[in-house]
């Protein structure tokens, strides 16, 4: 795989409501076989049309711009009222025989552009896709028993990590969702993973659940944590400072920020977080 950042048009093949608040959307494109790899946690961005648009307005991509810098400048130059919403997603699965990529849309009650689009998606709809690229692939830490923790936005990635665990590796999962209706089957049987669901309607939170896990985390020697940024920060510090996991064994990613969107400028906390992540990777 090359390291250029691709820009592709993807077309909806099917839509399935897998839980009351999650729509699983199938996408296809001729370019998918060359873009998608057999690895977990493949992240990309989808470009969603603005109101009144049937398809998003995107700049053309040029071969002499392999890293997409000029493309992104041209993207930002599109008037805001016409510029597509760009949101981050994880590839849940890819069926090479059908050439269909599955992506889960969390239908938040906040009416954000991704939730609105996902709730109304139908076969034939077209979006732009930026990535995925092996340039941004982060290998999973080697572990005998790994902790996987996240909210519903992290469930697609958690499922792919479980599927990719080597033989003999164990896992414990803590997953925060709105209520019991949002639970779903995870590929845990092959590795004997323990799955703990945390329900917000019962007052539960991911941070409290992991901090109070006690012996459930015995033997954990690596962790993968993703979801709301402040929760991820809290858990990462808990795992490193309290559980004494080496920083290099804790993979973490803030997928979204409470009361902010991906269109908002980074806060001081975001910048400090990015610097800390870069320092850990060096």
Domains of the chain, earliest start first: 7-135 (2.40.30.10), 138-281 (3.40.50.80)
Per-residue pLDDT band for 66 (boundaries 50, 70, 90) equals low
Beta partners for 135? none
Beta partners for 253? 226
Residue 178 per-residue DSSP state: S
What are the angstrom distances between the C-alpha of 154 and each of 48, 92, 213, 227, 255?
A: 20, 10, 19, 6, 8
CB 223 within 8 A of CB 245: yes
Q: For a pLDDT cut of 90, what percent of the chain falls above it?
A: 74
Beta partners for 17? 23
Half-sphere exposure of residue 239: CA atoms within 13 angstroms, side-chain side: 30
**Orientation of helix 229-237 relative to helix 268-281, angle to 10°:** 50
pLDDT, averaged across the chain: 88
Per-residue pLDDT band for 191 (boundaries 50, 70, 90) equals low
Higher pLDDT, 140 or 195: 195
Q: Could you identify the residue written with the tokens 């803590």?
A: 174
- The tens digit of pLDDT for each residue in 36-65 reads 999 999 999 999 999 999 999 999 887 777
The model's pTM is 0.88
pLDDT given for residue 2 in this prediction: 43
């Amino acid at each position: 795989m090359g390291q250029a950042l691709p820009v592709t048009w993807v077309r909806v093949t099917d839509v399935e409501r897998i839980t009351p608040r999650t729509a699983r959307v199938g996408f296809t494109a001729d370019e998918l076989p060359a873009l998608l790899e057999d690895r977990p946690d493949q992240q990309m961005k989808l470009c969603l049309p603005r109101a009144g648009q049937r398809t998003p307005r995107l700049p053309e991509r040029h071969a002499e711009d392999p890293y997409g810098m000029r493309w992104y400048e041209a993207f930002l130059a599109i008037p805001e009222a016409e510029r597509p919403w760009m949101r981050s997603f994880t590839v849940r699965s890819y069926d090479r025989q059908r050439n269909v990529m599955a992506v889960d849309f969390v239908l938040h009650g906040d009416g954000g552009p991704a939730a609105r689009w996902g709730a109304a998606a139908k076969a034939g709809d077209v979006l732009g896709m930026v990535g995925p690229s092996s340039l941004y692939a982060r290998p999973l830490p080697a572990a005998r028993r790994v902790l996987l923790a996240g909210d519903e936005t992290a469930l697609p990635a958690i499922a792919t990590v479980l599927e990719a665990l080597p033989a003999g590796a164990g896992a414990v999962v803590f997953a925060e969702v709105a209520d019991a209706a949002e639970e779903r089957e995870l590929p845990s049987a092959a590795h004997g993973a323990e799955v703990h669901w945390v329900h917000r309607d019962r007052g539960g939170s991911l941070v409290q659940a992991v901090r109070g896990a006690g012996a459930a985390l015995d033997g954990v020697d690596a962790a993968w944590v993703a979801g709301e940024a402040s929760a991820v920060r809290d858990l990462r510090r808990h795992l490193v400072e309290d559980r004494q996991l080496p920083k290099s064994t804790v993979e973490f990613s803030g997928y979204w920020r409470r009361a902010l969107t991906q269109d908002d400028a980074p806060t001081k906390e975001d910048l400090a977080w990015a610097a800390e992540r870069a320092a850990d990777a060096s």
